[in-house]
A and B are shown apart, each in its own frame.
Chain A
Amino acid sequence: MNFISTIQNVFRGRTLATIGMIWLCVILVAALAAPIFAPFDPLDIDPIGRLQEPSWAHFFGTDHFGRDTFSRSIYGARMTVVIGLGSVVFALIIGGLIGMLSAYFTRLGHVLMRIVDVLMAFPALLLALVLMTLLERSVTNTIIVIGIVYATTTARILFGMTLKLKGEVFVDAAKCSGAGHSSILFRHILPNLISPLLVQASFIFAFAQLQAAALDFLGLGLPPEIPSWGNMLSEERIYVTRAPWLLLFPGILIIISVFSINLVGDAMRDSIDPRFKDDIAGV
């Protein structure tokens, strides 16, 4: 009941955010049931029917191999969900642990937070590019690279918030009642960080989409054979003058999705604990 009332609280009176949330659910369903919704195999090549305009047979037209763009877009939703969730989980677990432990154990923090500082001296995409050159193009590696980039910001945010919470009375009370370090960190401090973490998750999810699309575009992201929206844009860009619609659909899908995540994130941030409003990324 508590969970449902929280959700109601976030979306009440926010029509756009609600529409955004519905769109995200649509993407999730498309990703899960891609083989059911896609009229064609996303990898089926048809050299005769290449670069077709949108029609009733091919809603989004066909690409330079004659593959159905609509089916590829539906399969592309899978990568959106996988990359987004993967980067969020990676960044929140690694970054969250670094931030919390650094704030709680001051000495360890001196070392860990300096490493975070050094990584943050690199602009985000640049760090991702350099890391990506060390690794092969794969789904896991893309997730790891984007995850590392946003683990740094997450660490810094959680560091600040844990420091604030560490000084609160309930932590002292827990200490006095004999609670151990892990109990204080994970049973007393962590539950207070859940809502800011959720907001942070939404921002990472949105940034990860743009970052992954940029990596795909530069030829340093997902392997080219995987149908992702970024790869579709990257592959078809040379046909943009002959078949402008090929870039239109994957691009609009990225925009609507990122926009939706941002709307939902904003709605969550507005209904968050006022203590943390200043600490959260984004404006």
Chain B
Amino acid sequence: MLAYTFKRLLALIPTLLAASVLIFLFVHLIPGDPAAILLGDTATPEEIAELTHAMGLDRSLITQYFLWLGNVLQGDFGTSIFFRIPVLSVIADGAETSILLASMTMIWIMLIGIPIGILAATRHGSWVDQIASGGAMLFASIPTFWLGLYLILIFAVGLGWFPSSGFPSISDEGGLWNIRYLLLPSLTLAAPNAALIIRLVRASMLDVQREDHVRTARAKGLHPTKVAIRHVFRNAMISVAAAFGFTFAALISEAVVTETVFSLPGIGRLVVQSILRRDYPVIQGVILVIVCLYMIINLLVDLTYARLDPRVSLK
């Protein structure tokens, strides 16, 4: 297990390096001169040339890449053009919102996805199953921002139960109660992903149900509920656990949209706004952080999977 973990960690490095080259190139290919944008409309060509030199933008791309990479490895992601503060603290400011949003969403996904998935699988073919599967597919077909807008319209504007946008930190006035700002966004974000988990739980439970050990368990007269939970569900969860990496990727993608709809000060909205503001250092920094995070989560998922199913690491 240790050797396997080590091997997987080592394999991450080239992919991460290649991803960093891509991110660097992407940002440098974006049309527009960062020095000119930074100085605004009133800048003279001399001032722009001076800043270009000061920022190192007149050096070769390769030199610039290694300088950037060297700084990143030391924890220096540069300075935001828009906020004029270090990129890392811009990202840290958005982290609280995004982490809380992601955690709440994950809780919803599990609370909604797993029980309904089990129900659909145990009542396979019945109307319960058809409604659950059909409903899951319907929810997976809804654009997240559309769902978010109507949740705001109904529960925030219409009924006034929840705030419609923004999120004050839980360390500010209001404390933990500020979580209510994240209720509608997390439900919006959870809907398509919970739908996916419902279908996944159902599919893998149905798969496991066909296996020999389940037939044996039934044959020896175990109560159907016991068979469903002890023999089928526990094994089915292995492939569900493997899907959480995928869910996390979907979560990041949809968080970009959801945070924009609800005007949440998170990392997803930071990506969009930095792109629209041409704030290169922030775009580079945020995307690098997200890609790292995504790869680490995928690794953790794979390692958990290997632990749950020992056959994996032997391959």
Chain A residues close to B by CB (< 8 Å): 16, 114-115, 117-119, 121-126, 129-131, 133-134, 206, 210, 213-214, 217-220, 230, 233, 237, 240-241, 244, 247, 251, 254-255, 258-259, 262-263, 266, 283
A121 to B134, CA, bound (A): 31
Q: Is the CB of A214 within 8 A of B19?
A: no
A130 to B138, CA, bound (A): 29
User: In whole Å, how far is A271's beta carbon from the nearest beta carbon of chain B?
Assistant: 17
| B residues less than 8 Å from A254 (CB atoms) | 141, 143, 146
Q: Does B260 contact A (CB under 8 A)?
A: yes
Given A121-B294, A241-B157, A283-B203, decide whether A259 and B138 contact each other with a Cβ distance below 8 A. yes
**A-B pairs with beta carbons under 8 A, tally:** 123
Q: Does B256 contact A (CB under 8 A)?
A: yes
Q: Is the CB of A126 within 8 A of B141?
A: no
Instruction: Kindly identify, within residues 127 to 181 of chain B, every residue whose CB is under 8 Å from any CB belonging to chain A.
Output: 134, 137-138, 140-146, 149-150, 152-153, 157
A38 to B17, CA, bound (A): 52
Chain B residues close to A by CB (< 8 Å): 14-16, 18-19, 22-23, 26, 29-31, 134, 137-138, 140-146, 149-150, 152-153, 157, 196, 199-200, 203, 249-250, 252-254, 256-257, 260, 271-272, 275-276, 283, 287, 290-291, 294-295
Given A133-B275, A218-B272, A255-B142, decide whether A125 and B257 contact each other with a Cβ distance below 8 A. yes
| A residues less than 8 Å from B144 (CB atoms) | 214
Q: Is the CB of A258 within 8 A of B149?
A: no
User: In whole Å, how far is A112's beta carbon from the nearest beta carbon of chain B?
Assistant: 13
A36 to B253, CA, bound (A): 38
| A residues less than 8 Å from B196 (CB atoms) | 283
Q: Is the CB of B134 within 8 A of A262?
A: no
User: In whole Å, how far is A16's beta carbon from the nearest beta carbon of chain B?
Assistant: 7
Q: Is the CB of B145 within 8 A of A214?
A: yes
- Tell which of A114, A130, A251 has the most Cβ of chain B within 10 Å: A130
Q: Is the CB of B257 within 8 A of A244?
A: no
Main secondary structure of the interface of A (DSSP, over half): helix
Taking A124-B249, A213-B146 as given, write out 9 further A-B residue pairs in contact, using a Cβ cutoff of 8 Å, ordered by the A residue number. Answer: A121-B291, A122-B287, A124-B253, A126-B271, A134-B26, A218-B272, A262-B137, A262-B140, A283-B196
Given A214-B143, A247-B150, decide whether A122 and B137 contact each other with a Cβ distance below 8 A. no
Picked from A118, A130, A251, the residue with its CB within 8 Å of the CB of B146 is A251
- Tell which of B16, B143, B149 has the most Cβ of chain A within 10 Å: B143
Whose C-beta in chain B lies nearest to the C-beta of A212?
B143
| B residues less than 8 Å from A258 (CB atoms) | 141-142
Q: Is the CB of A117 within 8 A of B143?
A: no
Q: Is the CB of A255 within 8 A of B141?
A: yes
| A residues less than 8 Å from B256 (CB atoms) | 125-126, 129, 214, 218
Q: Is the CB of A129 within 8 A of B272?
A: yes
User: In whole Å, how far is A257's beta carbon from the nearest beta carbon of chain B?
Assistant: 8
Q: Is the CB of A263 within 8 A of B143?
A: no
Picked from A16, A117, A213, the residue with its CB within 8 Å of the CB of B134 is A16
Q: Is the CB of A129 within 8 A of B143?
A: no
A129 to B271, CA, bound (A): 9
Q: Is the CB of B141 within 8 A of A133?
A: no
A219 to B150, CA, bound (A): 20
User: In whole Å, how far is A236's beta carbon from the nearest beta carbon of chain B?
Assistant: 10
Can you list 15 A-B contacts (CB < 8 A)? Answer: A117-B15, A123-B252, A126-B287, A129-B271, A129-B275, A130-B287, A133-B30, A134-B31, A217-B143, A217-B145, A233-B146, A247-B150, A251-B146, A255-B143, A259-B138
User: In whole Å, how far is A199's beta carbon from the nearest beta carbon of chain B?
Assistant: 15
User: In whole Å, how far is A23's beta carbon from the nearest beta carbon of chain B?
Assistant: 12
A230 to B149, CA, bound (A): 13
Whose C-beta in chain A lies nearest to the C-beta of B136?
A283
Whose C-beta in chain B lies nearest to the C-beta of A252?
B146
| B residues less than 8 Å from A134 (CB atoms) | 26, 29-31
Given A129-B275, A210-B143, A240-B153, decide whether A121 and B253 contact each other with a Cβ distance below 8 A. no
